[in-house]
Amino acid sequence: MTAMSPGRRSLRRIRRRTGNSLLFVAIVAISVIAAFPLVWMLLSSLKTPAESMQTPPVWIPSTPSLTAYREVADVIDAARSFWNSAVIATVTTAGILVTSLMAGYAFAKYRFRGRDLLFAVLISTMFLPPIVVLIPLFRMVTYMGLDGHLFGVIVPYLANAFGIFLMRQFIAGVPDDLIDAARVDGASELRIVFSVVAPAVIPAIAALALFAFVYHWNTYLWPLTVLQGNTEDYPIVLSLGRLLSYNRGAMNTGLVMAGATLAVLPPLVLFVFLQRFFVDSIVSTGVKG
């Protein structure tokens, strides 16, 4: 290859620079399109009812007001719904953490007959859409007397395959010496799980907690089926559905958007502040398997 003349080199630099700015434009454009629905939601929640009904649509509310939020709080008892969502998401997450840590530890560190088969069978449930078991599960929960009750929403989901998988992946990397040392000190196996292994896999615990919390904050099908119109126990996602039927048509747009904004906030805030944990756990489990 001949040495490049100064002219060709600067041509290359220009080409790379235009390439970079093209990339930058693409990134900005995609970001704008991706963010647009949520921005529109926020803007619409601040409009007056008259503005929401205008054709062509008003983009920026002229006099932003929080009236819609006040109305939402009354119509669906938003505080109660938030509390229900928090209870469902927190208790379910706590259960998943405990069961996943224990099972993940056993699958990573114990040797027992049928271990790999049992693990494979459990993991296969990760690929099962909930609708496949919905009908008998609903009946079973009714047998247990838990239909129409928050416990009925929570109990079937206290363990899941993804949690076990994630924990096994991470606990496999905890040195055996650490565990053996604790055993020599006379620690029970349960104590080892929660005070030796758990502190060593904090990032995985954080990731699992966030995923579980967001998933069970957002989930709709199962609570809708179990709670059977017991609106007192409705989580925010179900109350949001009621909001739509409360006043059909364009009139309720501001109301619905304010409700949606409220429901979106907790998972979104959690994600934005803790996104490192989400992304790292996907990177380390998603494709290596």
Partner 1 sequence: MVSPAVALIGVFIFVPMVLTIWLSFHQWSTQTGFEAARFVGLRNYEDILGPISVGRDFKRAFLNTAIYTALSVVAILPLSVIFGLLVYQSRVAGGQFLRTILFSTYMVPMIAVALVWSKLYSPSEGPLNQILFWVGIGPQSWLSSPDTALYSIVILNVWQQVGYFTVLAIAGLTQIPSSLHEAARIDGANPVQEFFGVTLPLLRRTLLFSAVIAVINAVQVFEPVALITQGGPANSTNVLTFHIRRVGIERAQGGLGSAMAVMLMLSLIVVIVLIFSLARQKEERA
HEC sequence for the chain: CCCCCHHHHHHHHHHHHHHHHHHHHHHHHHHHHHHHHHHHHHHHHCCCHHHHHCCCCCCCCCCCCCHHHHHHHHHCCHHHHHHHHHHHHHHHHHHHHHHHHHHHHHHHHCCCCCHHHHHHHHHHHHHCCCHHHHHHHHHHHHHCCCCCCHHHHHHHHCCCHHHHHHHHHHHCCCCHHHHHHHHHCCCCHHHHHHHHHHHHCHHHHHHHHHHHHHHHHHCCHHHHHHHCCCHHHCCHHHHHHHHHHHCCCHHHHHHHHHHHHHHHHHHHHHHHHHHHHHHHHHHHHCCCC
9 vs 276, beta carbon nearer partner 1 = 276
Calpha distance 233→153 (Å, rounded): 10
| Minimum distance from residue 36 beta carbon to partner 1 (Å) | 8
| Minimum distance from residue 67 beta carbon to partner 1 (Å) | 18
| Minimum distance from residue 230 beta carbon to partner 1 (Å) | 15
| Minimum distance from residue 257 beta carbon to partner 1 (Å) | 7
163 vs 178, beta carbon nearer partner 1 = 163
10 vs 54, beta carbon nearer partner 1 = 54
77 vs 122, beta carbon nearer partner 1 = 122
184 vs 272, beta carbon nearer partner 1 = 272
| Minimum distance from residue 184 beta carbon to partner 1 (Å) | 19
144 vs 178, beta carbon nearer partner 1 = 144
66 vs 144, beta carbon nearer partner 1 = 144
| Minimum distance from residue 211 beta carbon to partner 1 (Å) | 10
| Minimum distance from residue 20 beta carbon to partner 1 (Å) | 5
* Prior bond of 56 cis (ω within 30°): yes
Residue 178, Cβ neighbours under 10 Å: how many? 12
Calpha distance 215→271 (Å, rounded): 12
| Minimum distance from residue 77 beta carbon to partner 1 (Å) | 17
- State the greatest distance between any 2 C-alpha atoms of the chain, in Å, as a whole number: 83
87 vs 134, beta carbon nearer partner 1 = 134
